[in-house]
């Protein structure tokens, strides 16, 4: 039986090992989740609301333990983790307080007919979660799925098993019926077996392009609806009328938050020709001044990467970018100390022929490009295979909005770094995936919109 390992990215020490399930055990869990679904889907909206409001309270009450798990398993700055967990608790409350209005049955008349329209749940949903925001990104998908009347089983990322266990404990402590939510420790090799199970009604995944492509192919093969929230190589467009000090502040925070390990982080920085050199000069100073250290220390600004493999990936990607034409301004290598730390890195003179133009780098590495016209900037921004989000920074808000309308992406942010809100749809286009999390779309993702015509 294979084991999952949890390793502390700061100390490089083993947190623990966890055994994976056998195939027959997974089958039993899916069958029990299906049996639970048959009763859960008929529960009242008020009952579901009560449970989820309790879940939010339980999470908030246990915030110290939960934040410590995020820090010791994937290296997140502890004070950032606590803020994110409060945000997650409020996300749960938003869904609990709004789902009835969004999903309630509606009646209307059309073409001399009376119509009843409703959103029915569809069954057991198989979820695959990432490690980079291990509480938030799982719960923002699972919560609306379950509120809609489905049950959920989840394969969390293999390097955050203690978070995975904790999430199931939160559901249990909040009083949810058994098998409404179930964590499963399984290897990726079981993904097809799980997806093909007759009781699995849909698949949702947040993860890499490669993982999404594999899971999406399986969902298509077995005709299961799916939502894929994948990677990004998001553009950050600096306009000529920008306040450069504000630009630098946003460019640093937008690139290195969560150690640069965010799908919607800004990764390609597009700067006007006449601001290019001064931008690089100021950006270099700001990036080099970041405090690297213990993620439990509130003074630390840059956390370790999640794993030894992540370090090797960074080294390889930076080397390939340089060999394909990028100019290294600062950083580019592992920090000479214990822990999975990578230097804040700036790659300049990036063009469409440089590897980092069209490749997501999941760490504190910024690719900087110069542009001659807004039209060229838009072409550069839209030239990547990804289309998750983008940032436009400038003093003329109207101009920034008009540029935003021309950008490929599900979310465009004006004069702020990219983020997420419970009430707003989250998702992208192209290789960033399909479908939406959050907002009304997230609640409806795994429902059957049914009409009764009278």
Nearest Cα to Cα of residue 45 among 108, 121, 107, 115: 121
CATH of residue 15: 3.40.605.10
Residues in the chain: 454
- The pLDDT of 272-297, averaged and rounded, is 99
Average pLDDT, the chain: 98
- The pLDDT of 88-97, averaged and rounded, is 99
Tell me, yes or no, whether 260 and 297 share the same domain. Answer: yes
Distance CA 382, CA 368 (A): 15
Residue 425 falls within a domain, yes or no?
Answer: no
The pLDDT of residue 259: 98
The pLDDT of residue 112: 84
- The pLDDT of 443-447, averaged and rounded, is 99
Tell me, yes or no, whether 243 and 367 share the same domain. Answer: yes
Are the CB atoms for 284 and 269 separated by under 8 Å? no
Tell me, yes or no, whether 381 and 441 share the same domain. Answer: no
- The pLDDT of 76-105, averaged and rounded, is 99
Tell me, yes or no, whether 176 and 250 share the same domain. Answer: no
Residue 424 falls within a domain, yes or no?
Answer: no
Show the beta-strand stretches assigned E in 327-446: 327-330, 345-348, 365-371, 386-387, 389-393, 411-414, 429-430, 433-434
Query: What are the b/e assignments for 131-167, b being 16+ CB within 10 Å?
Result: bbbbbbbbbbbbbbbbbbbbbbbbbbbbbbbbbbbbb
pLDDT of 1 > 70? The answer is no
Tell me, yes or no, whether 154 and 249 share the same domain. Answer: no
Q: List phi, psi (to 5°) of 289.
A: -90, -5
H/E stretch holding 144 = helix 136-147
Tell me, yes or no, whether 282 and 169 share the same domain. Answer: no
**Cβ neighbour number for residue 374 with a 10 Å cutoff:** 17
The pLDDT of residue 2: 84
Which residues, 6+ apart, have CB-to-CB distance to 343 below 8 Å? 330, 331, 332, 333, 334, 335, 364
**Cβ neighbour number for residue 90 with a 10 Å cutoff:** 14
CATH of residue 333: 3.40.309.10
**Cβ neighbour number for residue 336 with a 10 Å cutoff:** 7
Cβ neighbourhood burial of 353 (10 Å; 0-12, 13-18, 19+)? exposed
Residue 427 falls within a domain, yes or no?
Answer: no
pLDDT of 254 > 90? The answer is yes
pLDDT of 190 > 90? The answer is yes
Nearest Cα to Cα of residue 344 among 291, 298, 396, 403: 291
SS3 content of the chain, % helix, strand, coil (to 5): 45, 25, 35
**Cross-strand pairs, 304:** none
Distance CA 341, CA 337 (A): 8
Sheet of strand 200-206, all strands in order from the earlier edge strand to the far edge = 181-183, 151-155, 124-128, 200-206, 226-229, 433-434
Tell me, yes or no, whether 40 and 139 share the same domain. Answer: yes
pLDDT of 111 > 90? The answer is no
Tell me the pLDDT tens digit for each residue of 196-231. 999 999 999 999 999 999 999 999 999 999 999 999
Q: Which of 66, 263, 343, 360 is catalytic?
A: 263
Question: What is the distance in angstroms between the CA of the first residue and the CA of the last residue of the chain?
Answer: 56
Residue 423 falls within a domain, yes or no?
Answer: no
Q: Please say if 229 is a catalytic residue.
A: yes
Tell me, yes or no, whether 196 and 267 share the same domain. Answer: no
Tell me, yes or no, whether 83 and 131 share the same domain. Answer: yes
Residue 420 falls within a domain, yes or no?
Answer: no
Return the SS3 of 153: strand
Please give the residue range of the domain that contains residue 304.
234-414
Distance CA 50, CA 40 (A): 14
Nearest Cα to Cα of residue 155 among 259, 308, 26, 296: 26
Tell me the pLDDT tens digit for each residue of 16-32. 999 999 999 999 999 99
What percentage of the chain reaches a pLDDT higher than 90? 99
In angstroms, how far is CA 175 from the centroid of its own chain? 27
Tell me, yes or no, whether 185 and 297 share the same domain. Answer: no
Tell me, yes or no, whether 138 and 81 share the same domain. Answer: yes
Angle, CA of 365, 334 and 5, to the nearest 5°: 100
Are the CB atoms for 362 and 310 separated by under 8 Å? yes
Q: Please say if 66 is a catalytic residue.
A: no
- The pLDDT of 330-358, averaged and rounded, is 98
Tell me, yes or no, whether 239 and 252 share the same domain. Answer: yes
Q: Which of 70, 73, 229, 360 is catalytic?
A: 229
Domain count, the chain: 2
């Amino acid at each position: 039986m294979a084991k999952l390992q949890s390793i502390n990215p700061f100390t490089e020490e083993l947190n623990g090992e966890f055994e994976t399930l056998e195939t027959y055990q997974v089958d039993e869990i899916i069958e029990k989740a299906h049996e639970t679904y048959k009763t859960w889907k008929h529960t009242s909206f008020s009952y579901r609301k009560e449970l989820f409001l309790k879940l939010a309270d339980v999470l908030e009450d246990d915030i110290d333990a939960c934040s410590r798990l995020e820090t010791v398993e994937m290296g997140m700055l502890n004070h950032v983790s606590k803020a994110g967990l409060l945000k997650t608790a409020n996300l749960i409350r938003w869904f609990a307080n709004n789902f009835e209005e969004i999903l309630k049955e509606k009646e209307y008349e059309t073409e001399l007919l009376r119509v009843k329209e409703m959103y029915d749940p569809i069954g057991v949903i198989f979820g695959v979660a990432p490690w980079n925001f291990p509480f938030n990104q799982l719960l923002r998908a699972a919560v609306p799925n379950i509120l809609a009347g489905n049950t959920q089983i989840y394969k969390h990322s293999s390097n955050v098993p203690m978070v995975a266990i904790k999430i199931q404990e939160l559901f249990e402590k909040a009083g949810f019926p058994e098998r409404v939510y179930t964590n499963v420790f399984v290897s990726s090799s079981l993904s097809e077996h799980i997806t093909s199970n007759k009781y699995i009604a849909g698949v949702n995944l947040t993860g890499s392009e490669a993982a999404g492509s594999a899971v999406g192919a399986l969902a298509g093969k077995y005709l299961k609806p799916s939502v894929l929230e994948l990677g990004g190589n998001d553009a950050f467009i600096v306009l000529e009328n920008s306040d450069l000090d504000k630009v630098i502040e946003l460019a640093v925070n937008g690139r290195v938050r969560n150690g640069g390990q965010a799908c919607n982080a800004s990764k390609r920085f597009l700067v006007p020709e006449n601001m290019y050199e001064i931008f690089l000069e100021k950006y270099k100073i700001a990036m080099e001044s970041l405090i690297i250290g213990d993620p439990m220390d509130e003074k630390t600004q840059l956390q370790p990467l999640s794993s030894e493999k992540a370090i090797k990936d960074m080294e390889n990607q930076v080397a390939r970018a340089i060999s394909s034409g990028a100019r290294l301004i600062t950083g580019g290598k592992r920090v000479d100390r214990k822990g999975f730390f990578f230097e804040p890195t700036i790659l300049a003179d990036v063009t469409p022929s440089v590897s980092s133009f069209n490749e997501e780098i999941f760490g504190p590495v910024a690719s900087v490009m110069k542009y001659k016209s807004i039209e060229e900037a838009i072409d550069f921004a839209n030239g990547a295979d990804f289309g998750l989000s983008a940032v436009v920074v400038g003093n003329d808000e109207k101009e920034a909005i008009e540029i935003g309308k021309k950008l490929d992406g599900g979310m465009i942010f004006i004069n702020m770094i990219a983020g997420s809100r419970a009430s707003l749809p989250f998702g992208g286009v192209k290789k960033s995936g399909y479908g939406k999390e959050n907002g009304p779309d997230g609640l409806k993702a795994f429902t059957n919109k049914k009409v009764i015509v009278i």
